[in-house]
């Protein structure tokens, strides 16, 4: 039994390694293509490439730990933010997370991708011409987890509407929040903006295998 289980773990590791390599390959193909097209198309291809890299990163970090069923959210998000900072050295991320918050991988990945979209927006819009600084905080209250992403940049435009916005970023953010069975609250500060996601531990509304709601 133990040999069979060890072999399964090894195969799972190998499959995840391959998935990760394939995602990295797709991202670099898009990036190479971006170098050959007009500027307005280039921006979109590079953005798609960055999003795929974020998925690969979220996936890779998760399976490096060999904890396939549960992952500690704090160190996982710290890792994700560290890789983000490496690709955007102008952006300083302060991550503060409570210890011992464990979630299944199908919750950890959407949380990481949602945080990735929010910090990308803070860097892109909150601090268009200056050094970017973002605060990420994870806390647990009873059976719920709150993830807050805050910047002290120029703030949201006055007419901003989170649900009717046409940007892919806000649509993904709302979709990940719904997938987690969570709620997203947006707080305007002076200066900057804060997005707070609150979701119940261990419940993912979306079945990644069936591609539909449970
Ligand atoms: N931290 C922020 N500070 C200031 N404005 C923001 C911030 N986050 C979002 N916004 C505003 O919200 C808008 C919507 O963001 P969203 O991520 O949906 O789209 P986008 O970033 O323009 O495009 P995409 O994400 O598809 O590349 C942005 O255009 C920007 O005006
Ligand atoms: Mg965006």
Give the span between the Cα atoms of 163 and 146, in whole angstroms: 20
Domain match, 95 and 44 both: no
209 has a pLDDT exceeding 60: no
pLDDT bucket at 203, cuts 50 / 70 / 90: low
- The angle, 0 to 180 degrees and rounded to 10, between the axes of the packed helices 73-87 and 39-64 is 150
Which residue, of 41, 68, 95, is where some domain finishes?
A: 68
Q: 154 and 82 in one domain?
A: yes
Q: What is the pLDDT of residue 117?
A: 96
pTM summary value: 0.90
Domain match, 57 and 74 both: no
Q: Indicate the residue among 68, 91, 114 that finishes a domain.
A: 68
pLDDT, averaged across the chain: 90
List, for residues 115-147, the tens digit of each pLDDT value.
999 999 999 999 988 899 999 999 999 899 999
Which residue out of 113, 120, 121 has the highest number of ligand 1 atoms within 8 Å of its CB and is therefore the one to mutate?
Answer: 121
Q: How far is the CA of 109 from the centre of ligand 2 (A)?
A: 18
53/77 same-domain check: no
Whether residues 104 and 61 share a domain: the answer is: no
Ligand nearest to the CA of residue 126, numbered in listed order: 1
- Flag whether pLDDT at 159 surpasses 50: yes
Shortest-distance Cα residue to atom 5 of ligand 1? 156
Of 26, 46, 68, which residue is a domain's last? 68
Sign (positive or negative) of CA dihedral 51, 183, 108, 92: positive
Q: Looking at the structure, do residues 114 and 19 belong to the same domain, yes or no?
A: no
Looking at the predicted structure, is the pLDDT value of residue 166 above 80? no
Number of domains in the chain: 2
Between the CA of 90 and the centroid of ligand 1 the distance, in Å, is: 18
Instruction: Give the structural domain span for 39.
Output: 1-68
pLDDT higher at 192 or 213: 192
Same domain as 81, residue 58:
no
Average pLDDT, integer, range 149-158:
96
**% of the chain exceeding 90 in pLDDT:** 68
Measured in degrees and rounded to the nearest 5, phi and psi for residue 167 equal: -65, 145
User: What is the reported pLDDT for 210?
Assistant: 47
Q: How far is the CA of 140 from the centre of ligand 2 (A)?
A: 27
């Amino acid at each position: 039994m133990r040999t069979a289980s060890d072999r399964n773990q090894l195969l799972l590791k190998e499959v995840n390694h391959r998935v990760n390599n394939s995602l990295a390959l797709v991202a670099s193909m898009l990036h190479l293509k971006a170098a050959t097209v007009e500027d307005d198309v280039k921006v979109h291809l590079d953005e798609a490439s960055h999003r795929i890299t974020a998925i690969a990163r979220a996936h890779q970090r998760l399976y490096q730990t060999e904890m396939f069923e549960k992952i500690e959210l704090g160190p996982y998000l710290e890792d994700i933010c560290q890789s983000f900072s490496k690709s955007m050295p102008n952006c300083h991320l302060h991550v503060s997370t409570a210890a011992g918050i464990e979630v299944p991988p199908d919750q950890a990945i959407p949380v990481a991708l949602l945080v990735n979209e929010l910090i990308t927006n803070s860097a892109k819009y909150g601090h268009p011409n200056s050094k970017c600084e973002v605060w990420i905080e994870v806390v647990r209250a009873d059976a719920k987890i709150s993830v807050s992403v805050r910047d002290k940049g120029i703030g949201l435009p006055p007419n901003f509407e989170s649900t009717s916005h046409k940007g892919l970023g806000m649509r993904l953010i709302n979709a990940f929040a719904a997938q987690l069975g969570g709620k997203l609250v947006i707080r305007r500060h002076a200066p900057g903006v804060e997005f707070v996601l609150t979701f119940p531990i261990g419940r993912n509304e979306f079945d990644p295998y069936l591609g539909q709601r449970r």
